[in-house]
Amino acid sequence: MTPRPESSGSRPKGTAGEKIPEQPTAAQKKSAAKKTSVPKQAAAKKATAPAKKAAAKKTPAAQPPATKATAKKAAPAKTTAKKAVAKKTGAQKATATKAAAEKATATKAAAKKTTAKKATATKAVAKKAAAKKATTTKAAATKAAATKTTASKAAATKATAAKTTGTKATTAKPPAKKAPTKKAPAKKAATKKATAGNSTTGAGTATPAQTLPPEMEVAVSPAVGAADRERLLNGTHHDPHSVLGAHPVPGGIAFRAFRPYALSVTVVAGEVRAELEDDGEGFFSGLLPLREVPQYRLLVEYEGTVLDTEDAYRFLPTLGDLDLHLIGEGRHEQLWTALGAHPMTHQGVTGTRFAVWAPNALGVRVAGTFNFWDGTGHVMRSLGSSGVWEVFLPDIGEGELYKFEITRPDGSKTLRADPMARRTEVPPATSSVITSSEYEWGDDEWLARRAEAPAHEAPFSVYEVHLPSWRPGLTYRQLAEQLPGYVKNLGFTHVELMPVAEHPFGGSWGYQVTGFYAPTARLGTPDDFRYLVDSLHRAGIGVLMDWVPAHFPRDDWALAEFDGRPLYEHADPLRAAHPDWGTLEFDYGRNEVRNFLVANALYWCEEFHIDGLRVDAVASMLYLDYSREPGQWTPNEHGGRENLDAVAFLQEMNATVYRRVPGVVTIAEESTAWDGVTRATHHKGPSGFGGLGFGLKWNMGWMHDSLEYMSHEPVYRKYHHHEMTFSMVYAYSENYVLPISHDEVVHGKRSLVSKMPGDWWQQRANHRAYLGFMWAHPGKQLLFMGQEFAQGAEWSEAHGPDWWLLDPGYGAEAEHRGVRDLVRDLNTVYRATPALWRLDTDPAGFEWVVGDAADDNVLAFLRLDPEGTPVLSVSNFAPVVRQDYRLGVPEDVPAWHETVNTDAARYGGSDVTNPDPVKPEAQPWHGRPASIRLTLPPLATVWLRPA
Q: List active site positions.
A: 616, 669
State the Cα–Cα distance between residues 66 and 61, nearest whole angstrom: 12
State the Cα–Cα distance between residues 312 and 272, nearest whole angstrom: 20
**Where are the alpha helices (H) located in 131-276, listed in sequence order?**
134-153, 226-234
State the Cα–Cα distance between residues 194 and 209, nearest whole angstrom: 15
State the Cα–Cα distance between residues 670 and 739, nearest whole angstrom: 12
Number of C-beta neighbours around residue 12 at 10 A: 18
- The type of residue at 773 is F
Whether residue 462 contacts residue 783, with contact meaning beta carbons closer than 8 Å, is answered with yes
- Nearest CA to 559 out of 581, 526, 584, 594 is that of 584
Whether residue 740 contacts residue 788, with contact meaning beta carbons closer than 8 Å, is answered with no
State the Cα–Cα distance between residues 270 and 337, nearest whole angstrom: 35
State the Cα–Cα distance between residues 744 and 753, nearest whole angstrom: 11
State the Cα–Cα distance between residues 249 and 204, nearest whole angstrom: 11
* Residue 771 DSSP code: H
Number of C-beta neighbours around residue 629 at 10 A: 8
List b or e across 414-430, with b for residues whose CB sees 16 or more CB atoms inside 10 angstroms: bbbbbbbbbbbbebeeb
Contacts of residue 189, Cβ cutoff 8 Å, sequence gap at least 6: 1, 2, 105, 106, 108, 165, 178, 179, 219, 251, 287, 289
Strand blocks (E) in 791-845: none
**Where are the alpha helices (H) located in 539-578, listed in sequence order?**
573-576
- Nearest CA to 527 out of 611, 442, 436, 443 is that of 436
State the Cα–Cα distance between residues 913 and 916, nearest whole angstrom: 9
* Residue 361 DSSP code: -
Strand blocks (E) in 26-113: 106-108
* Helix (H) / strand (E) containing 489: helix 476-490
State the Cα–Cα distance between residues 465 and 795, nearest whole angstrom: 11
State the Cα–Cα distance between residues 546 and 612, nearest whole angstrom: 9
Whether residue 86 contacts residue 26, with contact meaning beta carbons closer than 8 Å, is answered with yes
Whether residue 186 contacts residue 132, with contact meaning beta carbons closer than 8 Å, is answered with no
Residue 523 CA, distance from chain mean position:
20
Whether residue 911 contacts residue 903, with contact meaning beta carbons closer than 8 Å, is answered with yes
Map residue 265 onto helix, strand or coil: strand
